[in-house]
Amino acid sequence: MQTVKGTRDIMPQDMLIRKAVLEKLSSIAALYGFMPIDTPALESWKVLSAKGVGGEDVIKEAYKFKDKGGRMIGLRYEFTVSLARLVASNPDMNLPFKRYQTGKVWRYDDVSKGRYREFSQFDIDIVGSDSVMADSENISWAIDCLKALGFDNFQIRVNSRKVITSMAKYAGIDEGKMVDVFRVIDKLEKIGEKDVTKQLEQVIPKQSAKKILDFIKISGSNDKVIEKVEKIIKCEGLEEMKRLLSYVNDKSKVRIDLSLARGLDYYTGLVYEISAGKEIGSVGGGGRYDKLIGIFLKKDVPACGISFGLDRLIDVIKEKKLIVPKSSLKVFVSAVNDKVRKDALKIVGLLRENDISVDYDLRSRKLSKQFEYASSMGIPYVIIVGPKELEKKSVTLRDMNSGKEEMVKIDDLAKKF
Amino acid sequence: MQTVKGTRDIMPQDMLIRKAVLEKLSSIAALYGFMPIDTPALESWKVLSAKGVGGEDVIKEAYKFKDKGGRMIGLRYEFTVSLARLVASNPDMNLPFKRYQTGKVWRYDDVSKGRYREFSQFDIDIVGSDSVMADSENISWAIDCLKALGFDNFQIRVNSRKVITSMAKYAGIDEGKMVDVFRVIDKLEKIGEKDVTKQLEQVIPKQSAKKILDFIKISGSNDKVIEKVEKIIKCEGLEEMKRLLSYVNDKSKVRIDLSLARGLDYYTGLVYEISAGKEIGSVGGGGRYDKLIGIFLKKDVPACGISFGLDRLIDVIKEKKLIVPKSSLKVFVSAVNDKVRKDALKIVGLLRENDISVDYDLRSRKLSKQFEYASSMGIPYVIIVGPKELEKKSVTLRDMNSGKEEMVKIDDLAKKF
């Protein structure tokens, strides 16, 4: 009896790293004024599959089923759609609304190392601001998070759907084809230039495809890329990118990448992707989606956000040993026989009251076996409770690293740690 | 477009309470030596519906569906079954294994105030100890948690399936009927004596039903109840209850209740239920299940655990104002015009680097509107960045409570908070 394919158990050592990461991301989000919310894992299929939401690729991968009441239900495949639904059902909310959310999402995709069907994300989003300052908040937060987690060779790649659209218009591409163009361009890194060309040529004329491809391959420093683009087109998107670079907290970490499009249909402006280093690739991304909320509210509300894929991020942190999990267990209490059991339990309670993490023998093992257990759990101290010591209101304290033992008065115990 | 029936959004004010509760429960669990794990929300239906697991009532309520690969999948309806599966697939794990887990579970049940189909639990369990000390750990932890959360009129009701079984044998009931008897007894509080009698008489002889009913109605102080039971039967279960009362950290909070049976099939020994006060009722429960892991491992491993139903618990905390949510936002930074925008952003970054939670205007509103917003968000200070002040390397600091303003050097700002 195993876990379902694409899902997994997370054992304590890995869970301690995960908890540390979540704690970092959420406390930095709070520094930025983001507040936590939660939305259901189960969403109405009508919401998840609404036109303009997600897009056909992600909807194909979504889990859906009928509940016992005959409702068509989907498991959320990300948080942004649910956020849009939430905003639409709270039309009087104070804007801008800055929220963060973490939890599980589900996509039935191919399973490979580091890719699961049940996985976790951590998102921040700003609803109600059309300013590039909001995009800058998202990206600055991600930069602060990666620095706090100990990453160095990371980059936030940015592009703008407005720039790609301007370029596409210049290349003579029909407005209606844009979503398809975005989706194909986004696969450049994954499937390579040849296949992108082939797929582009299926939706747009050959000549246009070539123009697009030449354009997205423009590279160099941010200033150089901007200069080159300005020679071809002029557009609002480019001005926004310039502004973003002037607002962000560390522009050396931001790189313009004209081939970046992002896979989801709903993006309308700046898009961003978090590359954690050369061999690692993307650990998240996001962008601006000024039309998504309007799908549910019938009135557009500008918004943008960024999301970390937690599983990939944590895998890398583990590989690079950026966070080393440590049990907080300080003391193991051993009773030498059943008669002193209750006194031992009192000492356990006393220490815990003093915020000291304590475990004790629950299997009535011999003292030597208890030491072995404490040692295997990496517990640094063992307290041995015996009848003779108790007469002197004392216990024996053993330092598991040095093997040294000393008598300590019970009243002085808590101070020892 | 709304949330699916039985599910809900959790907004920031409620989420802050939820976070504080989770933080308390998990830090006390760590004091007790419990370590965090996670298991998938999606489990094989074979696991969730195995004989001896959960039981027909809960299995009837479980969500199940086929995934795109044709696998029969269920959404977990609790954590204990998944824990048993996990232990069975890690046969070499260091025992006892003390773990905690929190997350969502799903049951398609009637929806009412405080009862959802998607809800959250917080569980601790101890695998690999058959000692009552392990049950005592669970109950002591729950007592410490409720005290730390500010509850006073709570009680942990305890009983033992061994005691009910002994009583049932004495009343001439067939061993094979025990699971049915447990399930009916457990409804006493919910459906009343009359209906319990009726349902009991459907599975056991009338005379036996009467004996059982008289037995489970025995009441009084713990000592009195034990005395009365000892006059009727002698059994290991009763000895275990006595030992539990001697081990637990605060026995004044524990009350023997012979009518307690718990609804799940897999319990084998002590069972416990957390009553948070008279009008509130149960906020969780648990017990010993020494045969559950054996269903998956083919070798019995003793285990016991306790679970808080977080939604009910948090609703009560909110009603009783035991935790009052507070945003951590300290400062709102206002730029008086676009020219000082970049300087304002620098100040924002500077304060955040000093762990001060800062928000700023993302909507280019007038100063008065910005004050209104800061005030509506409960932010205590506003920093006004203007060109004249900047010349003196200063800003204006406004205390939103008193309305007082002062000039502060930018270099001295962080120290102010």
Pick the more confident residue, A305 or B114: A305
Examine the pLDDT at A144 and tell me if it is beyond 80: yes
pLDDT band at A142 (very low <50, low <70, confident <90, very high): very high
The verdict on a CB contact (< 8 Å) between A246 and B342 is yes
Q: What residues of B are in contact with residue A73 (Cβ under 8 Å)?
A: 4
Please name the member of B10, B44, B131 whose beta carbon is closest to the beta carbon of A364.
Answer: B131
Contacts of B4 in chain A (CB under 8 A): 40, 42-44, 67, 71, 73
Contacts of B377 in chain A (CB under 8 A): 94
How much is the average pLDDT of A244-265? 92
Contact B32 A342 (CB under 8 A): no
pLDDT recorded at residue B99: 98
Gap from A175 CA to chain B (nearest CA, Å) = 29
Q: Do B33 and A357 touch (CB under 8 A)?
A: yes
Option in B1, B39, B349 nearest A85 (CB): B1
Residues in Cβ contact with B130 at an 8 Å cutoff, skipping those fewer than 6 apart: B290, B302
Cis before A96? omega within 30: yes
Query: Which residue, chain included where needed, has tokens 């205007």?
Result: B361
Taking the C-alpha atoms of residue B336 and residue B344, their distance in angstroms, rounded to an integer, is 9
- The pLDDT tens digits of the residues spanning A185-235 come to 888 888 889 999 999 999 999 999 999 999 998 999 999 999 999 999 999
Q: Going by C-beta distance under 8 Å and a sequence separation of 6 or more, which residues neighbour residue A306?
A: A123, A124, A125, A138, A139, A141, A142, A272, A274, A284, A285, A286, A287
pLDDT at B66: 96
Q: What's residue A384's pLDDT?
A: 96
Q: How many CB pairs under 8 A join A and B?
A: 232
Strand ranges for B128-276 from DSSP E: 155-160, 254-256, 270-275
Contact A73, B3 (CB under 8 A): no
How many C-beta atoms surround the C-beta of residue B45 within 10 A?
18
CA distances to A126, A221, A245, A246, B342 from A253, in Å: 21, 12, 10, 12, 18
User: What is the per-residue pLDDT for A114?
Assistant: 82
The alpha-carbon gap from A38 to the nearest alpha carbon of chain B, in Å, equals 5
- Beta bridge partner(s), residue A127: A97, A303
* Beta pairing class for A331-335 and B394-399: unpaired
Which residues touch A288 (CB under 8 Å, ≥6 apart)? A135, A267, A268, A269, A270, A271, A302, A303, A304
DSSP3 helix / strand / coil % (chain B, rounded to 5): 45, 20, 35
Q: Three-state SS for B270? A: strand
Beta-carbon separation of B15 and A9 below 8 A: no
Within 8 A by CB and 6+ apart from B223, the residues are none
Cβ burial, residue B414 (10 Å; 0-12/13-18/19+): middle
Q: Which of A10, A89, A106 sits opposite B38 (nearest CB)?
A: A10
Q: What is the ipTM of this complex?
A: 0.94
pLDDT of residue B57: 81
Report yes or no: B216 and B186 within 8 Å, Cβ to Cβ: no
Q: How many helices (H) and strands (E) does chain A have?
A: 17, 16
Give A129 to chain B, closest Cα distance, Å.
5
Distance CA A377, CA A362 (A): 14
Phi-psi label, residue A211: left if phi above 0, alpha if psi -120 to 50, beta otherwise: alpha
Question: In chain B, which residues have their Cβ closer than 8 Å to the Cβ of A329?
Answer: 33
And the tokens for B380? 């205590």
Residue A346, CB half-sphere, CA atoms under 13 Å: how many?
12
Tokens representing B295? 């269903």
- Chain-chain contact of A35 with B327 (C-beta, under 8 angstroms): yes
What's residue A241's pLDDT? 97
- Compute the half-sphere exposure of residue B182: CA atoms within 13 Å on the CB side of its CA: 28
A182: nearest Cα among A160, A206, A150, A154: A160
Indicate the burial class of B270 (C-beta count within 10 angstroms; 0-12, 13-18, 19 or more): buried
For residue A327, which of A8, A3, A9, A14 has the smallest C-alpha distance?
A: A14
Q: Which long-range contacts (CB under 8 A, 24 or more apart) does A71-75 make?
A: A71/A44, A71/B4, A71/B5, A72/A44, A72/A45, A72/A46, A73/A42, A73/A43, A73/A44, A73/A45, A73/B4, A74/A42, A74/A43, A74/A44, A74/A45, A74/A47, A74/A48, A74/A49, A75/A41, A75/A42, A75/A43, A75/A105, A75/A106
Q: What is the mean pLDDT of chain A?
A: 94
Other CB atoms within 10 A of residue B253 CB: 19
Structural domains in chain A?
12-319 (3.30.930.10), 331-416 (3.40.50.800)
- Distance, in Å, from the CA atom of A218 to the CA atom of A231, rounded to the nearest integer, reads 12
Task: Note the pLDDT tens digit of each residue in A317-330.
Answer: 999 999 998 888 99
- CA gap B297, B89 in Å, rounded: 8
A32·B95 Cβ contact <8 A: no
Test A247 with B108 for CB contact under 8 angstroms. no
Q: How far apart (Å, rounded) are the C-alpha atoms in residues A122 and A310?
A: 7
Per the CB < 8 Å rule, is A71 touching B38?
no
Measured CA to CA, the distance from residue A124 to residue A304 in angstroms comes to 9
pLDDT beyond 80 at A279: no
Beta strand extents in B70-153 (DSSP E only): 72-75, 97-106, 118-127
Distance CA A253, CA A246 (A): 12
pLDDT tens over chain B, length 417 residues: 799 999 999 999 999 999 999 999 999 999 999 999 999 999 999 999 998 887 788 899 999 999 999 999 999 999 999 999 999 999 899 999 999 999 999 999 999 888 899 999 999 999 999 999 999 999 999 999 999 999 999 999 999 999 998 988 888 888 888 888 888 888 888 888 999 999 999 999 999 999 999 999 899 999 999 999 999 999 999 999 999 999 999 999 999 999 998 877 889 999 999 998 877 889 999 999 999 999 999 899 999 999 999 999 999 999 999 999 888 899 999 999 889 999 999 999 999 999 999 999 998 889 999 999 999 999 999 999 999 999 999 999 999 999 999 999 999 999 998
* Chain A residues in contact with B68 (beta carbon < 8 A): 63, 108
CA Rg value for chain B = 28
Q: What are the phi and psi torsion angles at B259 (to 5°)?
A: -90, -5
Residues of B in contact with A94 (CB under 8 A): 373, 376-377
Over the stretch A378-403, which tens digit does the pLDDT of each residue have? 999 999 999 999 999 999 999 999 99
Residues A12, B37: C-beta atoms closer than 8 Å: yes
Q: Label the pairing between strands B72-75 and B394-399.
A: unpaired
Cα–Cα dist A30/B328, whole Å: 7
Contact flag A362-B73 (C-beta cutoff 8 Å): no
Q: Closest approach of chain A CAs to the CA of B391, in angstroms?
A: 21
Contacts of A152 (CB under 8 A, 6+ apart): none
- Could you tell me the CA-to-CA distances from A258 to A185, A220, A221, A340 in Å, in that order? 10, 11, 12, 72
Residue B213 structure tokens: 């009913």
The conformational region for residue B51 under phi > 0 = left, psi -120 to 50 = alpha, else beta, is beta
Instruction: Give the residue from A5, A9, A373 with the most B CB atoms within 10 Å of its CB, the best one to mutate.
Output: A9
Nearest CB partner across the interface for A1, out of B7, B47, B373: B47
Residue A202's Cβ-count burial label (10 Å; 0-12, 13-18, 19+) is exposed
A35-64 burial, b for 16+ CB within 10 Å, e for fewer? bbbbbbbbbbbebbbbeebbbeebbebbbb
Element (H, E) at A160: strand A155-160
> Above 80 in pLDDT, residue A257?
yes
Are A37 and B46 inside 8 Å of each other by CB?
no
Nearest to A4 among B43, B94, B137 (CB): B43
For A10, B105, B235, the CA distances from B296, given in Å and listed in that order, are: 19, 21, 29
Q: Quick one: B403 exposed, middle or buried, by C-beta within 10 A (0-12, 13-18, 19+)?
A: exposed
Place of tokens 């800003």: B395
User: Under an 8 A CB cutoff, do B89 and A8 touch?
Assistant: no
The Cα of A151 is separated from the nearest Cα of chain B by a number of Å equal to 17
pLDDT band with cut points at 50, 70 and 90 for residue A177 = confident
The pLDDT assigned to B278 comes to 77
Residue B269: both structure tokens together: 């020994």
What share of chain A in percent tops pLDDT 70?
100
- The answer to whether B12 contacts A373, with C-beta atoms less than 8 Å apart, is no
Q: Render the burial of B5-26: b for 16+ CB within 10 Å, e for the rest.
A: ebbbbbbbebbbbbebbeebbb
Query: Measuring CA to CA, which residue among A213, A189, A219 is closest to residue A201?
Result: A213
Q: Tell me the per-residue pLDDT of A41-96, one tens digit each, with 9 for 90 and over.
A: 999 999 999 988 877 888 999 999 999 999 999 999 999 999 999 999 998 999 99
CA–CA gap between residue B152 and residue A156 (Å, rounded)? 51
**Helix, strand, coil percentages in chain A from 3-state DSSP, rounded to 5:** 45, 20, 35
Cα angle vertex A162, ends A89, A278, to 5°? Answer: 95
Run of H or E including B231: helix B222-232
Q: What is the pLDDT of residue B249?
A: 95
Name the average pLDDT for chain B. Answer: 94
State the nearest Cα–Cα gap between B102 and chain A, in angstroms.
11
